[in-house]
Amino acid sequence: MTQIELRGIEKFFGAVQVIHNLNLAIADNEFIVLLGQSGCGKTTTLRAVAGLETIDKGDILIDGKPVQHLKAADRDIAMVFQSFSLYPHMTVFENVAFPLRATRMSSGEVDKSVREVARVLRITDLLDKRPSALSGGDMQRVAIGRALVRRPKAMLMDEPIGALDAKLREEMRAEIKRLHVKQGSTTIYVTHDQIEAMSLADRIVIMHEGFIQQVGTPDEVYSHPANLFVAQFVGSPVMNIAEARVADRPGAASVTVGGAPAGFEFPHRLLSKLNGHSNGGLTLGIRPEGVLVRHDAASGYMPVEASIIEPLGSFDIVDLKVGSTMLRARTKAGYVSGPGEKVHVRIDPEQAHFFDTASGKSLGVRL
Amino acid sequence: MASVALTNLDPASRAAARGWSDLTIRNLFIIPTLVFLIVFNIFPLIYSLGYSFTNFAANRSEPWQFVGLQNYRELLSDDHIWSNFVITAKYVIVSVAGQMVVGFGLALLLNRSFPMKGLITTLLLLPMMMSAAVVGLFWQLLYSPSWGPINYVFGLGDFAWLSNPDSALYAVAITDIWMWSPFVMLLSLAGLSAVPQHLYEAAAIDRAGWWYTFTRITLPLVSPILLIALIFRTMEAFKTFDIAYTMTTQPTAELIAIRLYKQAFQQWDTGKSCALAYIVLIMVLAITNLYVKYLNKVKER
């Protein structure tokens, strides 16, 4: 039963402020993912919670008690490092037993706890080996075992699977999820990989340059990005962003991107929802799956030319030239046969996002 | 080897004009060193092995005779020699242990960032860079019973460090500790800074206290390099001559190297002293071999 709360955290490295007034409340048993590019302050935030980094302002509360002045050892928090940080001169057993022995637990209990954790993580066969003899995935299992064995108040994970290769990453991702469901402990997980974040998190915290951009469930940050940064950071392939102009047409609204001669047709109620943002300073965001492509002409579809096609196996990403801008569309594999092919395109109004160009903030318009 | 092209010689160079190849140039560097080594190291080593089986005396012109193992037999049954070995063993244990403790302790203190760290480290390294004879003379003055600063500071009156048979050996050992602790410190510092910082962070998260972290993480990870320091210092301490010879004449501080020197250049018993030199050599080799075996075992982990 552990709640963690961060209140008004500020952190400077010299004159550089790396965390700006960060506020976050984490519920018991919640799996929180801090997501952002390297240098966005996510790891610093995690290390501050762990007690490996001091903060310059604000409070860190664990179960309501301020801990920012406590040493790491006194916060009862376990951490899994990106570099695994296994003790190279100890066997797997000794590594997992280390946090128990450090607190003078009796050897019988140590043995029991270590074997129990080893069974859960399926590393029982490895207990007598040294870390240097393990594969990357096994090393990470051991590192997680060392964190789990003491039943800590909370688990912190700093890009725990970032150093593994793609296939193993997928496996370990599922394993971490399975463990969290089974063991259930408050977890803060840092990553720059949005797929990891989407698949693991109860809530995602997206950070950029020391500021929290958005906090929300994976579905919320994907479907309702709070600003242009989140819109482009979450989701793959990346969301299309284009400066847009909106015009009033009889019975409809027309959205023009890239100075194209014709506009895309939108329902007329867009105009009232945009509420004055229609002329200048408006940015349209549309995910590639919201760009609809067909071969033959149809009402509302605009004729365009395909320029680049990226086959990605189960689907293709097709770059379409609309005016002076490129829209990337997601199509069935092989739907557009080659560059230069003439196709017809439409934007699905229900999947369109609108942002204020100057501030980058979402206008919250959904049709 | 000859078939391996080392570098391509610039055809416009003077060496090429003289018709030299890069192999010629390599040989020009290597051969003088090899010749020097053979003439001044290997040849005397083998020659003295020959002498150790004779009654040769370098200051006499009489013909020498082959005496077989007699020199060795006499030396190994000589109580004096054995007492020299005991003195040397005491000296080695005290001075090497002292150097390890002081050197490693200093390294622990220096292994963090603080103002003027570089300057302080350099100053601490100075004793190691001095000539042993000079160090011996200096410490003779420091130990002086009538006006030496050591007795003054510790209020020991006129305690005669170097002419008291009970303390002379330890006084020399203290000087050796002063001189060579920086060497251990330097190696330890290298070892300590090679311990990855993230292991300390992991230990802090794992709730390990200072002492637990030190004994379970720091020491095991630094031990290979500490063992190397131990090997070097044991070898050197075993052969100590200069400091001890300049500082004291007490028979209780007569190390095996001093005994050897006296045998060779005061008694001019060249054959026998060669035999003694070989006994010392074999002992040093045996001790270092033990260490190296242990070191390899430690490194395997």
**A207 and A115, same domain (yes or no):** yes
- CA B241 to CA B88: how far, in whole Å? 11
Among B76, B247, B287, CA closest to B148: B247
Supply the pLDDT for residue B96.
97
Closest CA to B190 of B213, B220, B222: B222
Q: Is the ipTM of this complex over 0.95?
A: no
Reply yes or no on whether the pLDDT at B230 is more than 90: yes
Same domain, A280 and A199: no
pLDDT at position A246, please?
Answer: 87
Which H helix or E strand runs over A136? helix A136-148
Taking only the tens place, the pLDDT of each residue in A119-170 is: 988 899 999 999 999 988 899 889 999 998 988 889 999 998 887 888 888 8
Give how many domains chain A has, as a whole number.
Answer: 2
CATH code, A52: 3.40.50.300
Mean pLDDT across B88-101: 96
pLDDT above 90 as % of chain B: 72
Of A72, A90, A130, the CB nearest to B204: A72
Pinpoint the alpha helices (H) of chain B: 14-17, 22-37, 43-51, 70-76, 79-110, 117-129, 132-143, 149-154, 168-193, 197-205, 210-213, 219-238, 242-247, 256-265, 270-300
Containing A189, the helix (H) or strand (E) segment is strand A186-191
Q: Clarify whether residues A303 and A177 are in a common domain.
A: no
pLDDT in tens, A45-54: 999 999 999 9
Same domain, A305 and A204: no
β-pairing verdict for A240-249 and A16-26: unpaired
Residues A336 and A267 in one domain: yes
Residue B166 corresponds to which tokens in the numbers above? Answer: 């009970």
> Is A79 in the same domain as A133?
yes
Give the pLDDT mean for A244-254: 86
- Looking at the complex, report in whole angstroms how far the Cα of residue A182 sits from the nearest Cα belonging to chain B: 22
Kindly indicate the confidence band of residue A278, based on its pLDDT and cuts at 50, 70 and 90: low
Q: B212 and A87 in contact by Cβ < 8 A?
A: no
Does residue A310 share a domain with residue A201? no
Which domain covers residue A59, as residue numbers? 4-233
Residue of chain B whose Cα is closest to the Cα of A71: B204
In a domain, A367, yes or no: no
- Confidence label for A279 from pLDDT (cuts 50, 70 and 90): low
Last residue of a domain, one of A186, A210, A233: A233
Query: Is the domain of A140 the same as that of A274?
Result: no
Q: Answer yes or no: is pLDDT of B1 > 70.
A: no
Q: Do A102 and B220 touch (CB under 8 A)?
A: no
| CA gap A140, A80 in Å, rounded | 8
Residue A294 lies in a domain: yes
**Residue A365 domain flag:** no
Are A117 and A138 in a shared domain?
yes
- The sign one gets for the Cα dihedral A340, A341, A344, A346 is negative
Residues of chain A numbered 64-103 and touching chain B (CB < 8 Å) = 71-73, 76-79, 81, 83, 85, 87-90, 98-99, 102-103
Last residue of a domain, one of A233, A249, A281: A233
Write the DSSP string, B62-117: SPP-B-TTHHHHHHHT-HHHHHHHHHHHHHHHHHHHHHHHHHHHHHHHHSS--TTH
Q: Which pLDDT belongs to residue A338?
A: 86
Order of all β-strands in the sheet with A342-347: A291-294, A342-347, A302-311, A315-322, A325-332
Average pLDDT of A196-225?
94
Interface of B to A at Cβ within 8 Å reads 196, 198-199, 201-209, 212, 216-217, 220-221, 301
Q: Nearest Cα to A235, choosing from A358, A351, A360?
A: A351
Residues A253 and A348 in one domain: yes
Domain limit, last residue, from A179, A198, A233 = A233
Residue A102 lies in a domain: yes
Where residue A11 falls among pLDDT bands split at 50, 70, 90? Answer: very high
A247 and A196 within one domain: no
Q: Which two tokens stand for residue B98?
A: 């002292």
- Chain B nearest C-alpha distance from A197 (Å): 24
pLDDT at B2: 47
Residues paired with A157 in a beta bridge:
A80, A189
What residues have CB less than 8 Å from B257, skipping those under 6 apart?
A: B88, B239, B240, B241, B244, B280
Give the end-to-end CA distance of chain B in Å, rounded to a whole number. Answer: 35
Chain B residues with CB-CB distance to A85 below 8 A: 196, 198-199, 201-202
Q: Which of A72, A81, A150 lies at the smallest CB-CB distance from B198?
A: A81
pLDDT for A61-93, tens place per residue? 999 999 999 999 889 899 999 888 999 999 999
Q: For residue A272, tell me if it sits in a domain.
A: yes
Token pair recorded at residue B75: 């030396």
Best residue of A77, A87, A148, A157 to probe chain B, by most B CBs closer than 10 Å:
A87
Q: Please check whether residue A146 lies inside any domain of the structure.
A: yes
Q: Which residue of A has its CA nearest to B222?
A: A89
Question: Residue A315's domain is classified under what CATH number?
Answer: 2.40.50.140
Claim to verify: residue A223 and residue A127 sit in the same structural domain:
yes
Residue A145, domain member (yes or no) = yes
| Average pLDDT estimate for B31-53 | 93
Give the angle B137-B138-B143 at the CA atoms, nearest 5°: 95
Average pLDDT over residues A21-29: 94
Say whether residue A54 is in contact with chain B using an 8 A CB cutoff. Answer: no
Alpha helices by DSSP H, listed for A22-135, are 42-50, 92-101, 107-121
Q: Virtual CA dihedral for A126, A132, A136, A138, nearest 10 degrees?
A: 10
- Would you tell me how many other CB atoms lie within 10 Å of the CB of residue B21? 13
Partner-chain residue, chosen from B199, B212, B301, that has the shortest CB–CB distance to A85: B199
Evaluate whether residue A363 is within a structural domain: no
